[in-house]
C-alpha cells in the first residue's frame, strides 16, 4: 500500500481525535428501531446504538453500514444530531448490501462504522441566506441539514429549499416536504420531471433548474448547497453562476464508489483528493477545476 495512502488514514484518525486507529475499521452494533417505506424502492431506517448515546455526526457525513455475512456500503446520515440519540438512513435498494438492508425488520442488528467524511459548513453558514437544492436520493443527506437549520432557525436568514424528482412516485420524505412547503420559516418548492396520467400532483412540473431563475437571490450573502445525481450539478451550477453566485459560496456533496471510507484503499479518488476524507462535502472552488469532479 502506498505510504501516502497510509498517511492519509493517519491524518484522518488524528483529525477525528481517534487514539486507536483500529476503531476506524471495526463496526459497532446498532439496533434497527423502525423501518418506513418512502417510495417503492426506498426505505428509511432508524437506528440506535446498543448501549445508547449519540452517534456524534454532523449533517453531510456518512456511515459505513454493514449486514453480517453480506458486506458494507457508505450511506449518508439523513437525520440531524439535534433530533436525539438516533440515526436515520434513507436507502435505495441498489444492490447487494442495500437489498439486504431492505429485508431487515425492527429489532435486527446492523453494523456501523463512522461517522466519516466532511460535513456541511454550518458554522460558516450562520447569518447567511441558504439555498438548499437537492435531487432524487440527494434529499437524504439534505434532510439532515434541513432538520438542523429548522432546529437552529435563528442562526440563519432566508432559507429556500428546492427539490426535484423524476415523478411523484419518486418523491422522498413526502410528509416532511409538505410540512416545509406549508411552513412559514422556509420557502420550499418541489418539482417532478413528469406526471403520469391519472396521478395527483399539486406542485411544479419540469427540471429543477427552472426553479432558480425566478428566485430573488443576494449572491454575496447566500450559500447554496447542492446534493443530487451527477447530471444535476453542471446545470444547477450554471444557473447559480447566472444569478451571480461565485464558486466560494457554492457547496457540493459528491458521490464516488468507496470501500474503506477512511482514506486507505484509494477507491474514491477525485484527482489528488479522497472523496471519503476530503469530502464528500466540498466547496465548489476546491473541486471545480479537477478533472471528472463535477
The residue ranges that bind ligand FES (CB under 6 A) are 258-261, 263-268, 274, 276
User: In three state form, how does the secondary structure of 225-291 look?
Assistant: EEECCHHHHHHHHHHHHHCCCCHHHEEEECCCCCCCCCCCCCCCEECCEECCCCCCEEEHHHHCCCC
Q: How far is the CB of 292 from ligand FAD (least distance, A)?
A: 13
144 binds ligand FAD (CB under 6 A): no
Residue nearest to ligand FAD (CB): 95
Q: How far is the CB of 77 from ligand FAD (least distance, A)?
A: 8
Smaller CB separation from ligand FES, 90 or 117: 117
Q: State the binding partner of 75 from ligand FES, ligand FAD, none, CB within 5 to 8 A by kind.
A: ligand FAD
Which are the contacts of 8, defined by CB distance < 8 A and separation ≥ 6?
Answer: 263, 264, 274, 277
Q: How far is the CB of 275 from ligand FAD (least distance, A)?
A: 7
CB 79 within 8 A of CB 87: yes
36 binds ligand FAD (CB under 6 A): no
161 binds ligand FAD (CB under 6 A): no
Q: How far is the CB of 91 from ligand FAD (least distance, A)?
A: 4
Q: How far is the CB of 29 from ligand FES (least distance, A)?
A: 22
One of 59, 135, 228, 280 touching ligand FAD (CB under 6 A): 280
Question: What is the DSSP track for the chain?
Answer: --HHHHHHHHHHHHHHT-SSGGGGTS-EEEEEEEEEEEETTEEEEEEEETT-------TT-EEEEEETTTEEEEEE--S-GGG-S-EEEEEE--SHHHHHHHT--TT-EEEEEEEES----HHHHTTSEEEEEEEGGGHHHHHHHHHHHHHTGGG-S-EEEEEEESSGGG-SSHHHHHHHHH-SS-EEEEEES---TT----SEES-GGGGSTTS---GGGEEEEEES-HHHHHHHHHHHHHTT--GGGEEEE-----SSSSSSS-TTEETTEETTTT-SEEEHHHHTTSTT--
258 binds ligand FAD (CB under 6 A): yes
Contact map string, positions 37 to 76, toward ligand FAD, x by CB under 6 A = -------------------------x--------x-xxxx
Q: Compute how many residues bind ligand FAD; rule: CB under 6 A.
A: 21
Smaller CB separation from ligand FES, 81 or 261: 261
Contact map string, positions 90 to 119, toward ligand FAD, x by CB under 6 A = xxx-xxxxx---------------------
Smaller CB separation from ligand FAD, 113 or 128: 113
One of 22, 26, 105, 257 touching ligand FAD (CB under 6 A): 257
Smaller CB separation from ligand FES, 13 or 190: 13
Kindly list the residues in this chain that would bind ligand FAD in the complex (CB under 6 A): 62, 71, 73-76, 90-92, 94-98, 137, 140, 255-258, 280
Amino acid at each position: 500500500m502506498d505510504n501516502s495512502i497510509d498517511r492519509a488514514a493517519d491524518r484522518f484518525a488524528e483529525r477525528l481525535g481517534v487514539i486507536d486507529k483500529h476503531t476506524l475499521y471495526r463496526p459497532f452494533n446498532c439496533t434497527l428501531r423502525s423501518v418506513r417505506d418512502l417510495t417503492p424502492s426506498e426505505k428509511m431506517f432508524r437506528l440506535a446504538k446498543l448501549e445508547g448515546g449519540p452517534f456524534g455526526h454532523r449533517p453531510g457525513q456518512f456511515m459505513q453500514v454493514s449486514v453480517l455475512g453480506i458486506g458494507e456500503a457508505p450511506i449518508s446520515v439523513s437525520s440531524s444530531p439535534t433530533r436525539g440519540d438516533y440515526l436515520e438512513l434513507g436507502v435505495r435498494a441498489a444492490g447487494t448490501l442495500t437489498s439486504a438492508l431492505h429485508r431487515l425488520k425492527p429489532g435486527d442488528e446492523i453494523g456501523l462504522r463512522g461517522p466519516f467524511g466532511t460535513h456541511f459548513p454550518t458554522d460558516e453558514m450562520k447569518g447567511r441566506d441558504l439555498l438548499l437544492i437537492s435531487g432524487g436520493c440527494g434529499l437524504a443527506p439534505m434532510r439532515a441539514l434541513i432538520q438542523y437549520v429548522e432546529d437552529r432557525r435563528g442562526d440563519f436568514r432566508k432559507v429556500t429549499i428546492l427539490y426535484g424528482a423524476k415523478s411523484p412516485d419518486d418523491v422522498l420524505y413526502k410528509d416532511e416536504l409538505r410540512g416545509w412547503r406549508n411552513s412559514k420559516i422556509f420557502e420550499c418548492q418541489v418539482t417532478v420531471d413528469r406526471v403520469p396520467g391519472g396521478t395527483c400532483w399539486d406542485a411544479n412540473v419540469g427540471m429543477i433548474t427552472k426553479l432558480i431563475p425566478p428566485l430573488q437571490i443576494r449572491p454575496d450573502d447566500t450559500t447554496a448547497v447542492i446534493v443530487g445525481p451527477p447530471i444535476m450539478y453542471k446545470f444547477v451550477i450554471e444557473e447559480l453562476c447566472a444569478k451571480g453566485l461565485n464558486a466560494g459560496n457554492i457547496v457540493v456533496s459528491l458521490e464516488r464508489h468507496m470501500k474503506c471510507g477512511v482514506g486507505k484503499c484509494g477507491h474514491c479518488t477525485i484527482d489528488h483528493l479522497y472523496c471519503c476524507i476530503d469530502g464528500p462535502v466540498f466547496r465548489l472552488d476546491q473541486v471545480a477545476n479537477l478533472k471528472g469532479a463535477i
